[in-house]
């Protein structure tokens, strides 16, 4: 395990992938992935893409699954543009309890965004940044030693 994960046994998304629950949510099925309507519709049409195989986080995906998830996200994004004419498409993903992951199965959120939405800019945590103002480390235009050290440390591990 890479980091603390939410509880979920049986896994909610595995139950859907195995045909045991919530089949009404299925938007698309492929060999390696499933696209599901998110039961929490913060935006009309909000979906998640899951690998059929249980993989708790992005670190657990196989390369073929990685490619299949992104291909599904592209197909879904185009379908959302055609269906909803959104102002944009938000794609995001959480890994571990510390990031807000609620189901212990990798899932990529794909959300058609509308300007009249009451969800704020991006996921809810980004709206809080916009509302509350940004500190130096949160401002993308400000160069700090901590930011340079972060780049160096990540590069060292790539």
Where are the extended beta strands (E) located within 46-130?
A: 47-51, 88-92, 108-113
Cα–Cα distance measured from residue 155 to residue 14, given in angstroms and rounded to the nearest whole number: 35
- The pLDDT tens digits of the residues spanning 31-66 come to 999 999 998 888 889 999 999 999 999 999 999 999
Q: Tell me what the pLDDT averaged over the chain comes to.
A: 86
With a cut of 70, say whether residue 132 has pLDDT above it: no
Cα–Cα distance measured from residue 126 to residue 91, given in angstroms and rounded to the nearest whole number: 13
CA-to-CA separations, 133 to 10, 22, 26, 117, 118, in angstroms, rounded: 41, 40, 39, 21, 19
- Contacts of residue 84, Cβ cutoff 8 Å, sequence gap at least 6: 44, 45, 112, 114
Q: What does the pLDDT read at residue 120?
A: 65
In which band, very low, low, confident or very high, does the pLDDT at 130 lie, cut at 50, 70 and 90? Answer: low
């Amino acid at each position: 395990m890479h980091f603390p994960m939410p509880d979920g046994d049986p896994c909610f998304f595995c139950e859907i992938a195995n045909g045991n629950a919530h089949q009404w949510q299925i938007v698309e099925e492929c060999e390696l992935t499933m696209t599901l309507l998110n039961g929490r519709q913060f935006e009309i049409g909000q979906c998640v893409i899951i690998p059929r195989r249980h993989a708790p986080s992005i670190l657990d995906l196989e390369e073929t699954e990685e490619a299949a998830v992104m291909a599904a996200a592209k197909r879904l994004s185009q379908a959302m543009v055609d269906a909803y004419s959104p102002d944009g498409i938000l794609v995001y993903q959480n890994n571990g309890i510390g990031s807000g992951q609620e189901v212990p199965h990798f899932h990529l959120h794909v959300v058609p965004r509308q300007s009249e939405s009451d969800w704020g800019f991006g996921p809810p945590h980004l709206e809080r940044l916009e509302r509350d103002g940004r500190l130096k480390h949160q401002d993308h235009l400000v160069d700090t030693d901590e930011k340079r050290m972060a780049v160096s440390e990540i590069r060292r591990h790539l």
